[in-house]
Structure formats: structure tokens, C-alpha cells
Amino acid sequence: MEQDREIRPATVRLPKPPGNGVDAGKEREHGLRSSRHLSSWTIAALVVAVGATSAALAHALPAATSAPTGAHAQAGVGGTGVSSAVNAPNVSTPVAVTSASGVTTYVTPSAAGKATVTSRQAVATFGDS
């Protein structure tokens, strides 16, 4: 028996809070109110932060990431389709040729100002089959 008493965990009543207990209730209520206040401010701050981040990202991301190769992407990839850049160069002679697909072409600016093209037939991986 002696042994049993010794190994049984002791149950100790906690001391009563000072005062009549009404103050403790007030304290608890005040704590909860503080927490609610804090939560409201945290949520408000989070909303503002997320909004600001989204706006910043929307401006920072290149247009090309949202411009597919679709027909409605009229401005092309990442561009406006209009030479609005003040430093855009003037290009007078053709820089490329569209001809029978798969034919290797070379553009040569001629003295007359118009391009001339030499070409050779090549082994094209992708024809227009």
C-alpha cells in the first residue's frame, strides 16, 4: 500500500486566482479581443501586400509570356506591332525572303536598291506536305 501511494501521481489543485474571479473573465475577454484586433490587422495587411505584389508582377512580367502564337495575338510576341520606339531603326532592304519552303535563299542588296536573291534547293526537314 505504501508503495502504491508513492507511485500514484499526486493530484494538486491549482491555486485560485487572486480576486473574486470576475477579473479573470475580463482578462480573458480582453485577450480574445486583442487577438481579434490583431487578426483583422494582419488580414488587412496581407490583402494589401498580395494586391501590391500582383500589381508589381503584372507590370514586370514580359508580354511574351501571355502572348501565344494565336491569331488573336495581333501584336506578335511581346510587341505592339507598331514601331513606337523612338530609337527603332529604319531598315531599307529586305532582311529575309519567303519563298518556296525549304529553299535556301540568300539576299544580296543590289546597286539599284532592290534585293536580289540566289538560292539552292536543299534537303528540308519540314516541307509543306
- Tell me if 109 sits within 8 A of 120, measured CB to CB: no
Site string for other proteins, 55-74 (x = CB under 8 A): -------x-x---xxxxxxx
- Enclosing H/E stretch for 55: helix 22-60
- 14 is an interface residue for other proteins by CB under 8 A: no
- Tell me which stretch binds other proteins (CB under 8 A): 14-22, 32-40, 41-49, 121-129: 121-129
Cβ proximity to other proteins, 38 vs 122, nearer residue: 122
Q: What is the largest CA-CA distance in the chain?
A: 120
- 92 is a site residue for other proteins (CB under 8 A): yes
3 forms part of the interface with other proteins (CB under 8 A): no
Backbone phi and psi for residue 78, each to the nearest 5 degrees, phi listed first = 65, 20
Sign for the pseudo-dihedral over CA of 87, 93, 98, 104? negative
Residue 100's CB is within 10 A of a number of other CB atoms, namely: 11
Binding of residue 11 to other proteins (CB under 8 A): no
Q: How far is the CB of 58 from other proteins (least distance, A)?
A: 16
Q: Does 31 bind other proteins (CB under 8 A)?
A: no
